[in-house]
Amino acid sequence: MTWGLFLTQVLNGLQLGVLLFLLAAGLTLVFGIMNFVNLAHGSLYMMGAYFAAAAYAATGSFLAAAAIAVAATMILGLVIERVALMRLYARDHLDQVLATFGLILVFNEVVRYIWGPSSIYMNAPEALSGQVTLFGLNYPSYRFAIIGVGLAVAGGLYLVINRTRLGMLIRAGASNAEMVSALGVDIRFLNTMVFAMGAGLAGLAGLMAGPILSVQPGMGEPVLILTLVVIVTGGIGSVRGAFYGALIVGLVDTVGRAFLPIVLQLTIERSIAQAAGPAIASMLIYLLMAVVLAVRPAGLFPVRHG
């Protein structure tokens, strides 16, 4: 193990963490404020990636693709919320799970019909196709850009939620939606805005992931599982928890997969370590979540009431 390899994996973990944050922030707002379980959030991420790939191929401009992908995903989120989901707010979570799982199947078939079953590859913008040298280490510029965009979004969300009237209503709605509605706030409109915001963040995550992952049907399900681990670990309804939880999960998953097999080989027989190492590494984030829930059932950074 070298210093360069360790730093590379830490940066990869941060990059995965900020992508997970873009997804987790929207999902935890929807769940925390609207008390709505939206399993189709990963499908919005997938649609954002497809919108971005199609727009990039048509325009040749990554910035145009970014604007189109985020806007289109927000509009899609608004349509879904108004047409299919708003009628489920008063229903129990099982109905919400079944309905949004159905949407996953629908979206997977839609992208297969429109774009085909094969993967679509999206190149990074030319300006970010090189590498950045950091402490003697060459690291892809685009992955640095992902980290920068994620941190910028985190800062923007902090300002919106803590320094604006909309943020005040979001925090109040998360604490006591009935009281907010009784005070004259249009809680339905607030729910729609929160859902659209979450959809836009999912679309942004899909856009940023496009050049480093293949865009393919079903790409939203694996990342949805990681996102659920993030919000449970960080604290449901807490954007601060989503941020720190995403960074922790991203680092544990990436660094664990890279180095746990190597560490095991130093302590047990090599053949056993090679067989068990990857399996144990793949379970690390779930073991982390289990430990967090045992010690702090509300998550590491739960919503602050009062």
How far is it, in rounded angstroms, from Cα 171 to Cα 190? 11
Task: Give the number of other Cβ atoms within 10 Å of residue 107's Cβ.
Answer: 22
In this predicted structure, what is the pLDDT of residue 106?
94
| Average of per-residue pLDDT values in the chain | 86
In this predicted structure, what is the pLDDT of residue 110?
94
Please tell me whether the overall predicted TM-score, pTM, comes out greater than 0.75 for this model: yes
CA angle 75–41–118, rounded 5-degree value: 90
- Residue 131: strand pairing partners: 140
Report, in angstroms and rounded to the nearest whole number, the Rg of the chain calculated over CA atoms: 20
User: Is the model more confident about 109 or about 31?
Assistant: 109
Q: Which of 169-173, 174-178, 256-260 comes out lowest in average pLDDT? A: 174-178
Q: List pLDDT tens digits, range 27-60.
A: 888 887 777 888 999 999 999 999 999 999 999 8
Q: Backbone phi, then psi, for 132, in 5-degree steps? A: -115, 140
Reported as a pLDDT band with limits 50, 70 and 90, residue 103 is: very high
Domain coordinates in residue numbering, the chain: 3-295
In this predicted structure, what is the pLDDT of residue 272?
72
Q: What is the DSSP string of 95-110?
A: HHHHHHHHHHHHHHHH
**Separation in Å, CA 230 to CA 112, 177, 252, 278:** 29, 24, 11, 21
Q: Are 288 and 249 in contact (CB under 8 A)?
A: yes
**Separation in Å, CA 270 to CA 126, 193, 275, 276, 283:** 43, 54, 9, 10, 20
SS3 160: helix
- AA letter at 8: T
Q: Which residues contact 229 (CB under 8 A, 6 or more apart)?
A: 249, 285, 286, 288, 289
DSSP code, position 20: H
- Residue 104: strand pairing partners: none
In this predicted structure, what is the pLDDT of residue 304?
67
The candidate with the shortest Cα–Cα distance to 216, out of 49, 39, 16, is: 49
How far is it, in rounded angstroms, from Cα 205 to Cα 194? 17
CA angle 98–102–108, rounded 5-degree value: 150
DSSP code, position 87: G
In this predicted structure, what is the pLDDT of residue 165?
84
Could you tell me what percent of the chain has a pLDDT over 70? Answer: 96
Reported as a pLDDT band with limits 50, 70 and 90, residue 80 is: very high
Q: For domain 3-295, is the CATH number 1.10.3470?
A: yes
Is residue 68 pLDDT above 70, yes or no?
A: yes
SS3 129: coil
Please compute the mean of the pLDDT values over residues 83-105 and round it to a whole number.
Answer: 88
SS3 137: strand
